[in-house]
């Protein structure tokens, strides 16, 4: 049992990584649950990749990468809103255009600079094993904000996810709460990129929440399962990366994806057995 505990008791950086990972897991579970229910997976992916040019420019001029990520996310959301409101194009088209454009711009900026050899890896895959105490505090504040938004906007978010027309009938401004939901997802991406990177944050948004959606019907239970699977992925991924000398961020996401498919297979087996039993009863 020592190999399960010793890496954390003997290494302070592992403890800090685990604390940061737990906070990220909670934030991603909440935002990811609403993202799946509302059908915003594409925009979540676009935000996770579209912040790259903002981060690159911020690092080049000497500002924190998080500020650049916030600017990049703001440009993405503002551009999507502008295109959908001022044209007949669908939101998917606007998201796709800005996603590709922002990602291409980021690659161009990175390719034209010679100072991104180490920073690029950190941007794309995070630096969870080198996370600072200040970054953990920032993640804590962001997680509290996300929890507060989810609690305050629980009813309109729920109606918006399942029946937008009913949300309007109930007196909730659909566009306002849709933008608040996008803001919550954006905060999650902006802060979480420091931990697992822009390429991997989308996996942490989707996999635990997706597994939770397979197991539960009530939104509270979905979030609880998503948090559990996220934390389990963090702990297991960190252990695997420590013992086998693997990239921590990638190991965490791979564990999360494996957990999702295990839940998926078990749920399908369970469903088939239930159908078989029901069929025998009728016979």
User: E strands within the chain?
Assistant: none
Q: Examine the pLDDT at 283 and tell me if it is beyond 80.
A: no
Tell me the pLDDT band of 277, cut-offs 50, 70 and 90.
low
Q: Examine the pLDDT at 282 and tell me if it is beyond 70.
A: no
The CATH code belonging to domain 2-282 is 1.10.3470.10
Q: Which residues of 184-220 are buried (b: 16+ CB within 10 A; e: fewer)?
A: bbbbbbbbbbbbbbbbbbbbbbbbbbbbbbebbeebe
Q: Tokens 């803001």: give the residue.
A: 183
Rounded distance between C-alpha atoms, residue 245 and residue 236, angstroms: 13
Tell me the pLDDT band of 126, cut-offs 50, 70 and 90.
confident
Residues 6+ apart with CB under 8 A from 122: 197
Per-residue pLDDT tens over the stretch 247-273: 888 899 999 999 999 999 999 998 888
Domain ranges, ordered by start, for the chain: 2-282
Per-residue pLDDT tens over the stretch 81-93: 889 888 888 888 8
Residues 6+ apart with CB under 8 A from 208: 25, 28, 29, 32, 225, 226, 227, 228, 229, 230, 233, 256, 259, 260
Per-residue pLDDT tens over the stretch 29-86: 999 999 999 888 888 888 888 888 888 888 888 888 888 889 999 999 888 888 988 8
DSSP state of 129: G
pLDDT, residue 124, reads 75
pLDDT, residue 117, reads 57
pLDDT, residue 211, reads 96
Rounded distance between C-alpha atoms, residue 226 and residue 223, angstroms: 5
């Amino acid at each position: 049992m020592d190999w399960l505990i010793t890496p954390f008791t003997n290494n302070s950086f592992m403890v800090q990584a685990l604390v940061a990972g737990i906070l990220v897991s909670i934030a991603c579970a909440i935002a990811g649950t609403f993202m799946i229910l509302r059908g915003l997976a594409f925009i979540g992916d676009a935000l996770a990749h579209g912040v790259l040019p903002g981060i690159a420019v911020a690092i080049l001029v000497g500002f924190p990468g998080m500020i650049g990520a916030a600017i990049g996310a703001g440009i993405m959301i503002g551009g999507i809103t502008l295109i959908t409101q001022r044209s007949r194009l669908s939101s998917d088209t606007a998201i796709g255009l800005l996603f590709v454009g922002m990602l291409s711009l980021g690659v161009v900026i990175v390719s034209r600079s010679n100072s991104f050899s180490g920073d690029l890896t950190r941007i794309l895959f995070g630096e969870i094993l080198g996370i600072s105490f200040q970054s953990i505090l920032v993640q804590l504040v962001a997680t509290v904000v996300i929890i507060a938004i989810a609690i305050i906007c629980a009813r309109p978010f729920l109606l918006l996810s399942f029946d937008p027309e009913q949300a309007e009938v109930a007196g909730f401004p659909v566009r306002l709460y849709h933008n608040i939901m996008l803001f919550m997802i954006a905060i999650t991406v902006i802060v979480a990129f420091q931990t697992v990177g822009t390429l991997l944050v989308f996996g942490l948004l989707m996999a635990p929440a997706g597994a939770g959606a397979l197991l539960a019907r009530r939104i509270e239970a979905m979030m609880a399962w998503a948090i559990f699977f996220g934390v389990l992925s963090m702990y297991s991924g960190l252990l695997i990366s420590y013992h086998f000398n693997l990239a921590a961020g990638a190991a965490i996401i791979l564990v999360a994806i494996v957990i999702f498919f295990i839940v998926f297979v078990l749920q399908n087996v369970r469903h088939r057995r239930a159908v078989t039993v029901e069929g025998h009863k009728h016979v």
